[in-house]
Structure formats: C-alpha cells, structure tokens
Amino acid sequence: MMESSSSITPLLFRNLVTSLLLLAENSICSLAQKHKALELIRCVFVSSFLFFLRLLLSLNPRSTNNNESPYSILYDYKDKPPKKGIGGRNHKYMPAAISGDDDGSGSDTAIARALSQLLSIVNNIPVSSRKYQGVRSLAENVIYDNQREGVEALRQVNRTVLSAAFSRTLSQLEAAATLEQQQGGEGGGDGDIDGLDSGHHHWIVRAVRSVAGVVWTKGVSSGGSRSSAEKLAAELLWLAETMAACGFAKESVRRWASASSMARLSLSAEPRLQASLVKITALLLKYAKDMGVDEDDDNESTKDQQERKQAKMQMQMQMLVLWIPLLCTASNGTDVPVLSISERAELERVLEETIEKLAEEDQERVLSLWLHQFTYCSSSDWPNLHASYARWCNASRKHLLIHNS
C-alpha cells in the first residue's frame, strides 16, 4: 500500500501543476501575438514545462528502473526458502504463485514450479510474440505428460497449478476489462481541458496528453494489467478446456460461478470480449450440468450425498443467475453469432435441464431473471426458455391446487 501511494502522489501533483501551467500558457499565448519578447518567454516556459513533466516521471521508480526484467513480477525474490527443500537448496527464483511449504499436494516441487512459471509467462507475453505458441505448447506438454503418468501426485500438481492459473487469469481479466472500460469512457479527442477553449489547443496540449498517457500506461503496467482483456479471455477458455481434459472441470466451474465482478463487467464490455465470455460461459454451463454424474457415491452416507447434491445445485444456481444476462445480451456477436445454431440449441437444452433440477423457488428466481433480460433486450431472441417457463408455471399451479385441496 505504501508503494502504491508513493507512486500515485507524483501523478496527483502532476495533474494540479498541469492545470495551472496550462492556464498560464494560454494567457501568454494570447499576449505573444502582440509582443515578440513574450514569444521568447513563452518558448522558455514551454521547454521548462516539458522538462518538469519528465522529471515527475523519474520520481516513479517502477518506470525508471531499466535494469528490471519485464517478467520480474513472475517471481517473488523476497520469499524465504521452504523448510522442506530439495536438498536444502534455496529456491530463490520460485514462482510466487506456488511458493511456500509443501502441503502434500505436490505444489512445492520442481515440476509444479516449472508449470506455474510457464503458465505465468503465457499470461504476460503478447500473442504476436513468436515465442508465445512455443511456451504454450511446452505448458501443454508438461500438463499432459503429468496426466499420462497416472500418478496421483502428478495429478495433484496439475490440479493445484491449473486452478491457481485459472484464478490468476480471471483476476487479470477483470483488471483488464475494468481498464478498457475506463479508457473508453474517458474518451480521447480534442475536447476542452479544464475549460480552455479548444481553439487554443496546439502542440503543447498534445505533448501534455502524450506525457500523461505515458504516466497512465506505466501505472497500469505496474499494476499487472499488461495483457488485453480479449487475450486473457481466450487463455481462460483454454485453461477451462485443459482442466476439463484433466478431470478438474469442477474447479473452473466453481470459480466462474463466483466471478460476480466479471459478470457485471461483461454486460458493458466490448463486443469482441463479450463473444469470448459467452463461449467460456457456454462451456462451463455444460460442465456444471454434468458435474458429479460419474462420481461414486457408494462410500458416502446419505447426509454426505445430500450435502454434495445441495452444493452442486447452489453452484449451478449461481452460474445461471450471474451469466444468463450476458447470454441474453451478447449472443449475436459483431459480424456473426457467437454460437452456431446447433451450439445454441444444445446450450438451451443444457439450461432447461439445469433449471428443471433446481428447487421451485430457485427456478422462479432464475426464470424471472431470464424473462426480464430476454424481454428488454431487443437485439437478441436467445436463449429461448419459454418451455421451461411454462413447465414451472404448471408445476406452481399444481402445487397451489394441492395445497388448497
């Protein structure tokens, strides 16, 4: 927190001084047209002003440390070595995501640290890099080799590291989506600054905007939002598919069912990002419906089975409540529908089956939400859950008749 406040203070001071200097420059600009001596003073003023802004940038240690590697945030150099190390070695360059003592899940092993590092790099390097696909393919090979061994310890490595990577990518996606919406809401252009007439805007104003943009961009980079939201969404879909292939779909479903901030941001996100989020939601809704179908219940007591069933229904309920609004508003896409006709029909069946298994009051909540979103969204007529709504009405009617008979 102290480090964050120390980097914000120069920005606030810069904003105040920028406004004052712009007002002064505007006055000098109007007088310089009549007196040539003032034009010289104005040039000196502008040069000093730009030098002052550059000096403020140097006060931000994150933006001036050229010796720091762009991937240094992947490692926690201040971590103490684990108590149970391999041969007592100090794992100084341990990825921070899985550092710590071994808890029996295999998270504090060399193979786990290697996989965690690979997935972190995938998040942080651009897709345009020629090394992106190489790193991602290497991560896939490690994951599938671990799974192919058939050893529980390696399966736990995959589960722990992939779950951590999914959570980290989701957090970065929320940050990136928030940033993109803030930047889009501010708007660029050549509007007035602090009430100044746009007719007096010239190269100094553009210079101020450029320097301010550099400061803002560096602040965002230090916060970890270096990848675009659309890229992170694609990687989140890849992680969900990979976790399902390894038998850990429940982990991704649980995290997506609790991503209320991301669900709220998705309704006002860019269309291309919404398309990616619809694909993730469609995939995880299918996983949520089938969750627990092939689990062995023979060794569980009746109470444990009921608790597990209740937890599954609650998770499915959260998935529906959070993500049905996005399905109703963002299924058309920009140029073509996000999902094909067959994919839409399949997902409608998934939604109907999932809703039908919920308690009656939960069905009412989900279907009321769907009806509101479906009715007021003029750009889409999907998903069509009229059949589910009619069945719920019939069931509610019969319940009332039985109660009053």
Q: Supply the pLDDT for residue 132.
A: 94
pLDDT in tens, 93-110: 344 444 444 444 556 789
pLDDT in tens, 147-196: 999 899 999 999 999 999 999 999 999 999 998 888 765 544 444 434 43
φ, ψ for residue 12, nearest 5 deg: -65, -45
| Residue 278 β-bridge partners | none
| Residue 75 β-bridge partners | 95
CA distance 158 to 160: 6
Please report how many Cα atoms fall inside a 13 Å half-sphere around the Cα of residue 80, on the Cβ side.
4
pLDDT in tens, 286-310: 999 988 655 555 566 777 778 888 8
Write out the chain in H/E/C secondary structure. Answer: CHHHHHHHHHHHHHHHHHHHHHHHHHHHHHHHCCCHHHHHHHHHHHHHHHHHHHHHHHCCHHHHCCCCCCCHHHECCCCCCCCCCCCCCCCCCCEHHHCCCCCCCCCCCHHHHHHHHHHHHHHHCCCCCCCHHHHHHHHHHHHHHHHHHCCHHHHHHHHHHHHHHHHHHHHHHHHHHHHHHHHHHHCCCCCCCCCCCHHHCCHHHHHHHHHHHHHHHHHHHHCCCCCCHHHHHHHHHHHHHHHHHCCCHHHHHHHHHCCHHHHHHHCCCCHHHHHHHHHHHHHHHHHHHHCCCCCCCCCCCHHHHHHHHHHHHHHHHHHHHHHHHHHHHCCCCCCCCCCCHHHHHHHHHHHHHHHHCCCHHHHHHHHHHHHHHHHHCCCCCCCCCHHHHHHHHHHHHHHHHHHHC
Q: Supply the pLDDT for residue 325.
A: 94
Q: Supply the pLDDT for residue 331.
A: 66
For 212, other C-beta atoms within 10 Å of its C-beta total 15
CA distance 256 to 25: 52
For residue 10, give both structure tokens.
């120069």
Q: Supply the pLDDT for residue 195.
A: 40
Q: Supply the pLDDT for residue 151.
A: 92
Residue 235 has pLDDT above 80, yes or no: yes
Average of pLDDT values for 350-362? Answer: 93
Angle at which helices 110-124 and 152-186 pack, to 10 degrees? 20
CA distance 233 to 64: 31
Q: Supply the pLDDT for residue 308.
A: 83
Residue 14 has pLDDT above 50, yes or no: yes
Please report how many Cα atoms fall inside a 13 Å half-sphere around the Cα of residue 204, on the Cβ side.
26
On average, the pLDDT of the chain sits at 75
| Dihedral angle, C-alpha 311, 317, 319, 323, nearest 10 ° | -170
| pLDDT range class, residue 224, cuts 50, 70, 90 | very low
Alpha carbon 319 to its chain centroid, in Å, reads 17
For 169, other C-beta atoms within 10 Å of its C-beta total 26
For residue 30, give both structure tokens.
């109007």
Name the nearest CA neighbour of 315 among 267, 261, 357, 361: 357
Residue 82 has pLDDT above 60, yes or no: no
| Residue 95 β-bridge partners | 75
Q: How far is CA 150 from CA 106, 218, 250, 312, in A?
A: 15, 45, 20, 27
CA distance 156 to 103: 11
Does the predicted TM-score (pTM) go above 0.75?
Answer: no
